[in-house]
Chain A
């Protein structure tokens, strides 16, 4: 459960240390955002400032403690190993799962490299830019086809099936039947307007 904090903490391995440092990606933005909310709350009227002030302060303290632990890994401050009730349930489930599934499932956790991560992020941001420029009605097809191509999928049948089903969902169901707002993006809309198509 991780509830027992021993008197002398064992040395962290290089992987553990790397993971701990990696956590900065999460904890640093939360720390600065909550600090901004806390300091910014003073400019508002009483009533409007209470919640951001109190919650901001609490979050700053907790993230600050965690930051301290990341910078000084040997310190006991900010270890945060106490699992909540559901944490206990989850640990219990993990134990039982490990026990009963032994030998039934060959779990080969694929290793995710930094390049895998960046590749996925680039693809996601690319999809967002396509939507921004072309809107969702046209952009959806380019986003799907583009990401298939980006990930090296060359089979035409799955691509065709996906495009057709997305056409049914987006154009017929959403746009025509549910009257979803039309959107042709920052690039396509002026072009279509100039040709009098919309």
Chain B
């Protein structure tokens, strides 16, 4: 209880509350702007937090993560444009509602489930965090290494198209991370005798290049300018709020679906929203109304988008296994602030964990107020041309890659990875595994040496300890999943897919 009160005190202290406001503002704006989302905004802002203390830095980043989705919901309802990728589910029923003169009702329903979804995330995290904390206390170096390995194998699961393409880019990420001075052995690797490479390739320019610059390049190439005509704000706010409580079982079911999907590595709110919507459309009464402006469609989709955050964050902060692409980038933020991603966050920085959890909820509430306030000027934001956004992203990426270490070569690395990242995405190679490889590779390598130094039986420590063995089996299951599934199919055992 004391911990919780102290966290609340920290959040509402000056200037932390200002960082939350700024983060929420950025989150809402990137949510409204088409083409970019919280993933890009967080990647862009990580280097700018380098001089900030840990608490305000994470208040800023988590506020962006929590709030971008509601801004996207508003543009989906009013302009038929999903601001962020997950919000595509909102427009299915949101925009028809707006056209039927119920824009306010749809927005009110979306705002209500946003706040309640945030509350669900908060409660679920508060319930599960102490349990995870107790479990992590049993863990030793062998389990920590295995968890890093599990995080790395989750890369394979993150890779959207094929598991092997994910492993290839992850391998490249790990190899890039080996460049530089190895402190345990006292030898420089692949540095070509240069000071720059002796310090290693920084994660920041790679993240900025792969995620943000490649997106900016795509914006330049597509040159999309969205010309949308807004729908007038009409309808009853009260009707929207009450609709949520009238469909409370649907809300709870959507929360649970979102939580389970959120925990699965790599499957973020986009997947949760559509799975929840499809489930609602198949099981609710009068399914023919879905897609024609049914408020239940908005409730099902938006609840899942917002409630997913808890499931997304839990494995990320407790085990270092990212629940989504945005969480993979957040792991990089932990590393930048000198916090080892994974169980050690819970073990040594419990205050930060609670800070993240509460910020998530308060930012959700704040975003509703802010986004509704913005709704008048929103039309102008949705019409911002991609040629205007792209150079701003490029400039911020170049600055972000430079200021961390003051090497001009870092700007070159970011530029190279921007172009390389574009080609990776074009040919179905997900850039996130590479980022995770760079973040988790060194942690796994150090963990391996540490575990061996504690072991009396050499590498057998990884299979003689039960928790370590269980995690190892999970790693094998994740990596070899398609082959295991094929084996079941050949034997005529019913399909055991995630669906």
Interface residues of A (CB under 8 A from B): 2-3, 19, 22-23, 25-27, 29-30, 33-34, 37, 40, 44-45, 47-48, 51-52, 55-56, 58-59, 62-63, 66, 80-90, 92-93, 96-97, 99-101, 104-105, 110, 112, 116-117, 119-121, 123-125, 127-128, 131-132, 136, 140, 143-144, 147-148, 151, 153, 158, 162, 166, 169-170, 174, 178-181, 183, 186
Interface residues of B (CB under 8 A from A): 48, 51, 80, 88-89, 91-92, 95, 156-169, 171-172, 174-175, 178, 182, 184-185, 187, 189-190, 213, 216-217, 220-224, 261, 264-267, 270-271, 274-275, 277-278, 281, 291, 384-385, 387-388, 390-392, 394-396, 398-399, 402-403, 406, 408, 411-412, 415, 418-420, 422-424, 426-427, 429, 441, 445, 449, 478, 481-483, 485-486, 489, 497-499
Which secondary structure dominates where chain A touches chain B?
Answer: helix
In contact, A144 and B391 (Cβ under 8 angstroms): yes
A71 to B297: give the CA distance in the assembly, Å. Answer: 48
- A-B contacts, 21 of them at CB < 8 A, read A19-B427, A22-B427, A51-B174, A55-B178, A84-B159, A84-B478, A84-B482, A87-B160, A88-B497, A92-B274, A100-B274, A100-B291, A101-B92, A117-B217, A123-B220, A124-B213, A124-B217, A131-B411, A132-B411, A158-B385, A181-B403
Partner of A132, one of B213, B394, B408, B486: B408
In contact, A117 and B291 (Cβ under 8 angstroms): no
A-B contact count (CB 8 A): 259
A44 contacts across to B, CB distance below 8 A: 185, 187, 189
In contact, B223 and A174 (Cβ under 8 angstroms): no
Partner of B399, one of A19, A29, A140: A140
B291 contacts across to A, CB distance below 8 A: 100, 104
Task: Name 9 extra pairs, CB < 8 A, besides A59-B172, A84-B157, A170-B395.
Answer: A52-B178, A59-B168, A84-B478, A97-B88, A116-B223, A124-B216, A127-B395, A144-B392, A147-B394
In contact, A82 and B160 (Cβ under 8 angstroms): no
In contact, B175 and A56 (Cβ under 8 angstroms): yes
Distance (whole angstroms) from the CB of B276 to the closest CB of chain A: 10
In contact, A33 and B175 (Cβ under 8 angstroms): yes
In contact, B399 and A3 (Cβ under 8 angstroms): no
Residue of B nearest to A83 (CB): B162
A181 to B291: give the CA distance in the assembly, Å. Answer: 53
Residue of A nearest to B482 (CB): A82
In contact, A110 and B182 (Cβ under 8 angstroms): no
In contact, A85 and B264 (Cβ under 8 angstroms): yes
A82 in contact with B164 given A3-B486, A93-B271 (CB within 8 Å):
yes
Partner of A23, one of B178, B392, B427, B483: B427
Distance (whole angstroms) from the CB of B136 to the closest CB of chain A: 23
